[in-house]
Copies of this chain bind each other. A is one copy, B any other.
Amino acid sequence: MASIDIDSAVSAAPRSRAPSKSAQIENTQANSVAQRYLDVRNYSEEICAPLAIEDYGLQAMASTSPAKWHLAHTSWFFETFLLKPYAQDYCEYHPGFEYLFNSYYNGVGGQYPRHQRSLLSRPTVEEVYAYRRHVNQAMLSLLESKAAGESTDILTRTELGCHHEQQHQELFFTDLKYCLFQNPLYTAYDTNPLPPAHKPDALQWRAYGGQLLEIGHRGDGFCFDNELPRHKQYVANFELADRLVTNSEFMAFMADGGYERPELWLADGWAVLQASPHSPAPLYWVQREGEWWEYTLHGLVRLDPHRPASHLSAYEADAFARWMGCRLPTEFEWEMAATISPAAELHETSSARPAVHPESANPVGSLWQWTSSAYTPYPGFKTAAGAIGEYNGKFMANQLVLRGGSVATSPGHYRHSYRNFFYPPDQWQFTGVRLARES
């Protein structure tokens, strides 16, 4: 591995977010792991650039974390799983951080209560950036060290740490949007105006023939443990929509009394509706003088009928599908379709960072799509030994799989075998609806 000038690499972390070298992660295979590490780390800081110091601490519900906490926790991950076990003479940055920035790794130790993360005014934002620099310098030393050359664990874990940080980059957008929405000033994270959306073509159905097929990650590249092992699955004939449901389609559902008709709803979803004090609508819709507006990371904008309906719970997605006489796809149907017709599905990301709001109803890279599949282990699933094994497996209860990536997904992070997972009532993720039906 070629030597990298640590100081300049680290200190040069650009703080402006618009088109930058680091976003152009064109070919991670070709780059060194160290370069990959730096690119990912710098991107986390780039996307924070528009924040005021005050924004870094927001936590509007237990499920969301402050931006500052994301920045610290991702550093903690490298410190805990790479630096402490592998870096000779590594000096822990602060004895209190192991507790404060552990998310849920019981194997490492106790955790500061999740719902109270906004109460951590200290360390300050500046101190967290200093923590990041400390970790970066130690990581770059480690990656240049002899140990790294001899241990595949170090490179493998660094790769995992990079993907872990990319997940938190996505959560950064997801959580921030939810938090800023609580303030009636409806602050824009990105002050660039949203590009106009084009009217999507009429929804087309694509038919797929039943077959016994292989599901799960294929090949040598990185994937999370939950995408393995690749295994056989029988999928019967089905049809899948070629694009996501749009706002105008969802408004038709609402106009037809969709939220008031219990026969369209799963019982648990209906119970959520009845218990809510709000009149039902997608999470970020705001009604003003009879018109619908939508809160986006670009501010409050008029609801655009052509954009895909976003931030729906699985219950809303399911009710809409039922109203259409359709259903949600299984994750296997979704993956089969993506694998069979990749050209048609694949989303081309331009090099410039696009708006953090879906422009098109494209099923890849626009909005995560709820599937009807429970998030359960693939046959023969194995977790890693030790605390790092808590990464995915222990969440395999009560959640549904989502597929397809979104505008908030970090460049280069997505795969067709990727299994995202949320609870059915969750609305704050960038989620949409793709319809399926029997053929």
Contact = CB atoms under 8 A, between A and B. Distances in A.
Contact of A112 (B56, B184, B232, B379): B184
A99 B184 contact: yes
A257 interface: no
Given A52-B121, A125-B54, A179-B119, A267 B394 contact: yes
A298 to B, nearest CB: 16
Interface string A232-273: 111010100000000000000000000000110111111000
Contacts of A327: 377
Nearest to A387: B263
A185 B122 contact: yes
Interface stretch (A77-85, A195-203, A395-403): A395-403
A376 interface: yes
Given A183-B119, A184-B99, A52 B380 contact: no
Given A99-B184, A262-B106, A398-B424, A124 B268 contact: no
Contacts of A389: 263
A299 interface: no
Interface in A68-101: 68, 96, 99-100
Given A263-B107, A267-B104, A122 B187 contact: yes
Contacts of A266: 394-397
A26 interface: no
A281 interface: no
B231 A232 contact: no
Interface in A295-348: 314-315, 318, 327
B234 A234 contact: yes
A116 B327 CA distance: 35
A234 B236 contact: no
B52 A122 contact: yes
From A104, A106, A395, name the one whose CB has the most chain B CB atoms within 10 angstroms: A106
Copies in the complex: 4
Nearest to A383: B263
Interface string A372-409: 11101101100000000110001111100000000000
A122 B125 CA distance: 17
A53 interface: yes
Contacts of A99: 184
A23 B341 CA distance: 58
A121 B57 contact: yes
A54 B374 CA distance: 40
Interface string A122-155: 1111000000000000000000000000000000
Contacts of A438: 379-380
Contacts of A352: none
A87 to B, nearest CB: 25
Contacts of A269: 397
Contact of A56 (B54, B231, B318, B390): B54
A212 interface: yes
A196 B58 CA distance: 39
A60 interface: yes
From A236, A376, A390, A394, name the one whose CB has the most chain B CB atoms within 10 angstroms: A394
Contacts of A53: 53-54, 124-125
Given A263-B390, A398-B398, 8 more contacts: A54-B125, A116-B182, A121-B180, A122-B185, A231-B236, A267-B395, A268-B395, A318-B397
Nearest 4 CB-CB pairs, A to B?
A374-B374, A106-B262, A54-B121, A234-B234
